[in-house]
Structure 1
Amino acid sequence: MKSFSELHVPGDPFILPCAWDVASAQLFAEAGHPAVGTTSLGVAAAIGAADEDRETLIATADLAVELRRALPGLPLTCDFEDGYGDGPEFVVEIVRENFAIADGPGGLLVDGINIQDSRHGQMHEPAVLAAKVTAIKEAFPALFVNARIDTFWLGQDSLGEVLERIDAYVDAGADGIFVPGSLDLATIETITSRRRVPVNVLASPRYSKSDLAEAGVARISTGSLLYRAAMSGALSSLQVLADDRPAQAENVLSYRAFTELDRVSVRSRPGGR
């Protein structure tokens, strides 16, 4: 099995499905995906919290424990919001206190984290995330740190700023760059041509995996898409009943599909905190 870092090949991207619980992660792994991430929106929704509000740390760490137990050999990365803190030293302690494990990859539950440069819809100065990235990499050299640039995500159409942030975060030690948003292929190609590390984008309603591969992308994240698709499907199924129609079970996973997953007792697996 390839390491998490080795999966990142510019021009030959892998799809990173983002899970919100153990069952979703197991199903994604059974479907053949070589790594799994987490979605902060899905985790936040499960506990009734707002996304990106620094309230998901414990839930994310607990989910990481269960995912590592259920899928011990699968590369795992998690959405780490903005690091759940302001200062780089504090962020390092958060990683150590919540994700350290003696027999995990690099001494941690996870192989990677995704850490962003905005909070509450406001961009931080590049130096803020750069300092966090440097501190994390110095403390955990084996951890794949994906630096997320939220300029386009927040509706700020400034490619020049994105390129400047790429340089700042790569200089700080980032292993990968994530630029979410509705990017056209020309913009993506400009970003990947700047690359000194692999570039990650969101799954696109406009472009296929092949399109993004030709643009030089190394990783395609589903973000919250799969969680939102699952909830949308649930609402559609419920509306069918409300419309006085028989339940539609075609193309829906069977009850047995989930009970078979449950037979793998995640709490019996070694390697937890």
Structure 2
Amino acid sequence: MDVTTFRALHQNRAPGDPLVLPGPWDAASARVFAEAGFAALATPSAGVSASLGYADGEAPADEMFAAVTRIVRAVTEFGVPVSADLEGGYGLSPKDLVARVQDTGAVGVNLEDSTADGLKDPHRHADWLAEVRAAAGPALFVNARVDTYVRGMKDPDETIGRARLYVEAGADGIYPIMAPPEHLPTLAAAIPSPLNALALPGSPPPRELGELGATRVTFGPGLQRRAMAAVRDIARDLLT
């Protein structure tokens, strides 16, 4: 898959026309989204973990990389680029992380700035992102996830400060996960990179998120959970 194509999909997006990236959790779901005509896909770590039988954050790195490899392989014939959510990088060095990502065939990666213990120091995380950027060169779209809202920090200035450090370090995009829709205009105006918004049940649809400032829209594990709800309905029907 071509990272140049993937990067270009983020450029010159008209308001109300964000890049919509469904989140496949396995090879079969990836093919469904590719066959439907989506231009690119973005795996959710929580959804992939669930498909592998693990809770969010508990899938072993080897299994996550193998799952991403299968997803990429499943859509190769469609020419659909895939970005992979790889949590905090699984403790790998930047060089090893980039090598593992490139072995999967993914052209993008989400990397978050928190651990189970809380938010990382933003300056140290920016330094780490800079090492990832140096190891990858232009061959990887680095989407830096900012976890301030997840951690209860509602002031957009904290998110903006972290985001700017990550952009300076070489991040291609910023993902302020769980940012309230009403904060998107402020974030988009202050952060000099494509902005990733999370679409949740009850949130504005992708078109409106784009009008508010989102360059791209992802769904986290939401689509996988909707699919599992449908499977539960099927199971109940079978029992009756």
- Whether these two folds match at TM > 0.5 is yes
Label 1:18 to 1:140 Cα distance change in 2 as closer, same or farther (>3 A). same
- Quote the Cα distance in structure 1 between the aligned partners of 2:118 and 2:190: 25
- Once the two structures are superposed, residues 215-271 of structure 1 have per-residue CA deviations (whole angstroms, 9 ceiling, x without a partner) of 1211000110110101111122223344x3xxxxxxxxxxxxxxxxxxxxxxxxxxx
Aligned residue pairs: how many?
231
Contact 1:52 1:119 in 2 (8 A): no
- The alignment partner of 2:193 has SS state of coil
Question: In the TM superposition, what is the alpha-carbon distance from 1:23 to its structure 2 partner?
Answer: 0.6
Label 1:196 to 1:167 Cα distance change in 2 as closer, same or farther (>3 A). same
Aligned to 2:126: 130
Match of 2:33 among 21, 28, 36: 28
Match of 1:8 among 7, 10, 14: 10
- The alignment partner of 2:162 has SS state of helix
Label 1:241 to 1:71 Cα distance change in 2 as closer, same or farther (>3 A). closer
Aligned ranges 1:87-236 → 2 under 5 Å: 90-96=93-99, 98-101=100-103, 109-120=105-116, 122-141=118-137, 142-181=139-178, 183-185=180-182, 187-204=183-200, 205-236=202-233
Aligned ranges 1:259-270 → 2 under 5 Å: none
- The alignment partner of 2:105 has SS state of coil
- Quote the Cα distance in structure 2 between the aligned partners of 1:156 and 1:27: 37
- The alignment partner of 1:18 has SS state of coil
Structure of higher CA gyration radius = 1
Please tell me the residue identity of whatever aligns with 1:69: R
Question: In the TM superposition, what is the alpha-carbon distance from 1:64 to its structure 2 partner?
Answer: 2.6
TM-score (norm 2): 0.89
- Quote the Cα distance in structure 1 between the aligned partners of 2:60 and 2:224: 16
Larger mean Cα displacement after TM superposition, 42-51 or 69-78: 42-51
Question: In the TM superposition, what is the alpha-carbon distance from 1:33 to its structure 2 partner?
Answer: 0.5
Q: Provide structure 1 residue ranges, at least 5 long, that are not aligned to the other structure.
A: 102-107, 245-273
- Quote the Cα distance in structure 1 between the aligned partners of 2:6 and 2:186: 25
Label 1:159 to 1:32 Cα distance change in 2 as closer, same or farther (>3 A). same
- Quote the Cα distance in structure 1 between the aligned partners of 2:224 and 2:146: 22
Aligned to 2:42: 37
Question: In the TM superposition, what is the alpha-carbon distance from 1:63 to its structure 2 partner?
Answer: 2.1
- Quote the Cα distance in structure 2 between the aligned partners of 1:29 and 1:153: 30
Does the alignment pair 1:70 with 2:60? Answer: no
CA RMSD of aligned residues (A): 2.0
- Once the two structures are superposed, residues 129-154 of structure 1 have per-residue CA deviations (whole angstroms, 9 ceiling, x without a partner) of 21221111111122100000011123
- Quote the Cα distance in structure 1 between the aligned partners of 2:96 and 2:86: 13
Does the alignment pair 1:17 with 2:13? Answer: no
- The alignment partner of 1:114 has SS state of strand
Match of 1:61 among 39, 62, 65: 65
- Quote the Cα distance in structure 2 between the aligned partners of 1:206 and 1:138: 36
Contact 2:181 2:212 in 1 (8 A): no
- The alignment partner of 1:4 has SS state of helix
Label 1:100 to 1:7 Cα distance change in 2 as closer, same or farther (>3 A). closer
- The alignment partner of 1:146 has SS state of strand
Question: In the TM superposition, what is the alpha-carbon distance from 1:20 to its structure 2 partner?
Answer: 1.1
- Quote the Cα distance in structure 2 between the aligned partners of 1:42 and 1:212: 22
- The alignment partner of 2:174 has SS state of strand
Question: In the TM superposition, what is the alpha-carbon distance from 1:182 to its structure 2 partner?
Answer: 5.1
